[in-house]
Amino acid sequence: MANWCNNWVVFEGTAEAIEQITKLFKSMAEQEQKDDCGQLPDFVQDTHGDYFYNISQDNESVGVFQYETKWSPNTQAVKQIAKHFKVNFTQDYEELGCLVYGQAIFEDGILTDTCLDSQDFDSYELDEETDTYHFEGTEYDSEWEILDTLLERKIENQLNTTKI
């Protein structure tokens, strides 16, 4: 049985391209309901079982979708969609059971995928007695703020390294 990776993707491009992507995701969601199985657009080459499951759209934001994948994000499939429609995207993903937490950005044909590693996950602790997390001398009720901080630092480090 698969661990489910949660994915949130925001596509950015022309209104026409975003409308086509919206139709594509709506069609995949409808087909998933009929077939009861994951979906891939016809033009996407599956290399790693990168199927989309439980697809939904953020009704308040254009070009924003949420879905699940098995075990890890399907960034390469999303990249193929972006290339097909000539758009950019930002994909956030997490599956904490497999220590997967990251963000992929595809902009102007360049993919940057930043994810936490085991050292990042080892940098904080859960106090089971108080059900709180401890990170750098501060107590947190949830690990999400810690994970966001660690990912932001890693992205910033990558940007600084790239500029040098």
In residues, how long is the chain?
A: 164
- The structure tokens listed for 164 are 């040098």
pLDDT at 84: 98
**Intra-chain end-to-end CA distance of the chain, in Å:** 44
Identify the burial level of 34 via C-beta atoms within 10 angstroms of its C-beta, where 0-12 means exposed, 13-18 middle and 19 or more buried: exposed
Model-level pTM?
0.92
Name which of 103, 76, 105, 84 is nearest 18 in CA terms: 84
Name the CATH superfamily housing domain 1-116. Answer: Api92-like domains (3.30.70.1270)
Which H helix or E strand runs over 127? Answer: strand 125-127
pLDDT at 1: 63
Q: Which residues of the chain have pLDDT under 70?
A: 1, 162-164
pLDDT at 59: 80
Q: Give the span between the Cα atoms of 38 and 126, in whole angstroms.
A: 35
pLDDT at 53: 97
pLDDT at 163: 66
* Tokens 């007695």 sit on residue: 129
pLDDT at 58: 82
Residue boundaries of the structural domains of the chain: 1-116, 117-163
